[in-house]
Each structure stands twice: as structure tokens, then as C-alpha cells.
A = this chain, B = another copy of it.
Amino acid sequence: MTTTVEVAVRPPYPVRIGPGVLAEAAEHLPGRRVALVSDTHVAPLYADATEERLVAEGRTVLRLVVPAGERSKSVSVWDDLLRALARAGFGRDDAVLALGGGVVGDLAGFVAASYARGIAVVQAPTSLLAMADAAIGGKTGVNLPEGKNLVGAFWQPRAVLMDVSTLRTLPPEVFLHGAVEVFKHGLLADPELAAAVLDGRLAQDGDPAELTRWVAASARVKADVVGRDEREEGEARATLNLGHTVAHALEAVTAHALTHGEAVAWGLLYAAHLSRLDADARGRGGSDWTELARRLVATVRPTPPPELAWAELEPYLGLDKKNRAGRRRWVVAHAPGEARLATDVPAASERAAWAAFVDDVTTFRARLGADATLHGERGDA
């Protein structure tokens, strides 16, 4: 039941999806040495078996485990990893295996991109979020105190291995947060995929074939866009940022108290309101997807963002990498499947969308009621 999706960049590379594909790692890793980069959540579960198999295939493995969490996506941890590779004598023909979620993939990918001016990397995402998003497309990097993902490189992997059996060990809320990016891909290009997220057909404890089906469907949407616009030079790839402008700002302003998936769920709700108001302002009809976004939030139950005035969020929007010539660029979708970049969204629409969004957040916060404490206890997850 393994599926392959090809990413048509030069050179092209395969995304392998299915239970057990992690066992293929050595086939895609050149060189004699492999830096197996993982984190304190994932390494205890999958690093031993992965390392044993690599050693059986004749590789020397340097295991590098970083603390789980966004804080490891820093210049300082990246520097530590590079120095570990240097001390182990890594050369240009050795390679990196990124085993973990999005943080590990971005961090280890940037290590591979920059060690000796670039060595091979295989991405082995173990979270639904990383499978849906970060593992495909070669975006790597770390954060600066000034903002997320401000440092990095486009560095395509040799292969992406999505072993869906690793999804079973995810905390349930982390699986749900990952489903947010799957939903976004559905919204962009595959309505059935979006429906599968909302009606529970994409389920953590589902049949492995069903999991493979939806993860592959999501990978197809992402791979298609990356193949058309590898380095985000055109508009195609930027549309993947639907919901992300506000999401990145929420992550920054809360010092990452919201997970990426939670922030994107809220960001999509904001984008839905902005898209609706932008369609109205232009006197265009459109297929309002505000309700779909509300259903996503109800399904995923993200931690509510703090109460913020638009003016408090705005400074964090200025650093968004989609901006050109100092103008803010939004991804809006007047209807599902019609996302596009807009540079001319009036400031009044931005603020009106924020007001509508804040109303929705207030409703959800009230509805969550007693649960809010539970969510608060997750701390800096």
C-alpha cells in the first residue's frame, strides 16, 4: 500500500508514503556517514531501529538529538550541529537524515544546506504537520529573535519518507494540529481532502491504507505547487501561505505558545474573513468559506490566541517574506480552489476582518469553557 509522489524539480525526487517506508532510508542516502538528526520526543521511538538498519547497510551513524520544540530551530542549535559534523569529519559526500517533525526537518535541512556548502539530506517526517507541509519543497531554516524562518535556504532533499505508522504515536492534539495543513491543501486544490479532515475520515487510528490515501493526497497538492514554482518566485508557491501571514505573527507575538498548527487554524479563519470582505469590497461574489474555517477550528480545537488589537499584531506582519517593496501581500481565496496573491487589500478590510475574527475567537473561547484550563496546562508545547 505504498504510494510514490514525484516532486518535479531538477533533479526530481520521490516522496514515498506508506507504513514502514522508513526502512528504505539507506537507499536514498549517499556516502559513508549519516548524521541522524532527531529530537527528544522522536528519537526514543524510532532512532534505534533506524540507526540499526543504516549500520546494517554499512553506514557510520552520528546520532544528534536536539530538545523537542520550536526553540531548537535557532542559530545556536544549528551551529552546534554543524560543529558536531565537523568534529566527526563529515565530507561533502556524506549525508543527513532528518527524523522528526517540522522543527527537525527545517533545522537538519538547513544543516545539510550549509555544511561544506551543501550535502545530501533525506527528510523522514514523523508528524502529520511535517508530512503535509515542511518535508516537501526544500524550505529549510531557523528562526531569529526578530521573526520566524528569517534564515535559511532552499535545499531539496534526495527523498522524503512518510512512514504513516509513526503517526500512531503522536499525541492526539498534535495529530489534529497537523490536519490543519492537510485541510489547507484540500481547500487549495482537493475538496474531498478538506472534507475528509472535517468528517473524520482522516483519523489517527484509521486503517493504514486510509491514512496513506489522505497523506498522499495532501502530498500531491504540495508537490504539484512546488514543481511549478520551486523557489517561490512566481505566485503558485506563495498561495501555500494561505492563513500563514497571521499565523506567523501569532506565533511570534505569543513567543510560540501556540503550535504552528494551532496558529494556522486561526490564520485560516482570519484569511476566510479577509477573503470574504475583500470579495465584498470588490463587488464580487464568491463562495464564502468562513463556515468551513469555523468547522476546522471546531474540529481541531486550537488554543485560543490572546486578546490582541490589530495594531499589536501589525509590526509582526511587516517581516513576512511574501512582502515586496514594503507592501503587504496577502493570500486571499474568494472561493475554495481560487487562492491568489493580493497586494491591494485595503487596510479597512484588514481591520474589519480582524474584528470579525476576534468575535469568532470570543465565541470559541466561551464554548471551550472548562477545557481552557486543560489547554493552558500544556504549557509551552
Measuring CB to CB, which residues of chain A are less than 8 angstroms from any residue of chain B?
31-32, 75, 79, 82-83, 86-87, 89, 91-93, 113-118, 139-141, 144-147, 149-154, 231, 318-319, 321, 323-326
Contact = CB atoms under 8 A, between A and B. Distances in A.
B152 A117 contact: yes
Nearest to A33: B326
A202 to B, nearest CB: 30
Contacts of A147: 86
Given A75-B82, A82-B151, A116-B321, 4 more contacts: A32-B326, A83-B146, A117-B141, A118-B231
B150 A115 contact: yes
B321 A92 contact: yes
A157 to B, nearest CB: 15
Given A152-B117, A323-B91, A325-B31, A75 B79 contact: yes
Contact of A154 (B117, B146, B152, B321): B117
B321 A91 contact: yes
A79 to B, nearest CB: 5
Contacts of A319: 86, 89
A86 B146 contact: yes
Q: How many copies does the complex hold?
A: 2
A170 to B, nearest CB: 28
Given A91-B323, A93-B325, A114 B153 contact: yes
A230 B185 CA distance: 36
Contacts of A154: 117-118
B326 A91 contact: yes
Contacts of A324: 91-93
A118 B230 CA distance: 13
Nearest to A92: B321
B152 A114 contact: yes
Nearest to A326: B32
Contacts of A86: 144, 146-147, 150, 319
Contacts of A83: 144-146
A57 to B, nearest CB: 15
A182 B153 CA distance: 32
A81 to B, nearest CB: 11
A14 B198 CA distance: 54
Contacts of A325: 31-32, 91, 93
Across the A-B interface, give the 6 residue pairs with the lowest CB-CB distance, nearest first. Answer: A86-B146, A117-B152, A91-B323, A116-B321, A75-B79, A93-B324
A249 to B, nearest CB: 14
Contact of A114 (B87, B151, B318, B326): B151
A151 B82 CA distance: 8
A150 B94 CA distance: 14
A153 B110 CA distance: 10
Given A144-B82, A326-B32, A151 B115 contact: yes
Contacts of A117: 139-141, 149, 152-154, 231, 321
Contacts of A92: 321, 323-324
A84 to B, nearest CB: 9
16 contacts: A82-B151, A83-B144, A86-B147, A86-B150, A89-B319, A91-B323, A91-B325, A92-B324, A93-B324, A114-B114, A114-B141, A114-B151, A116-B150, A117-B149, A118-B153, A118-B231
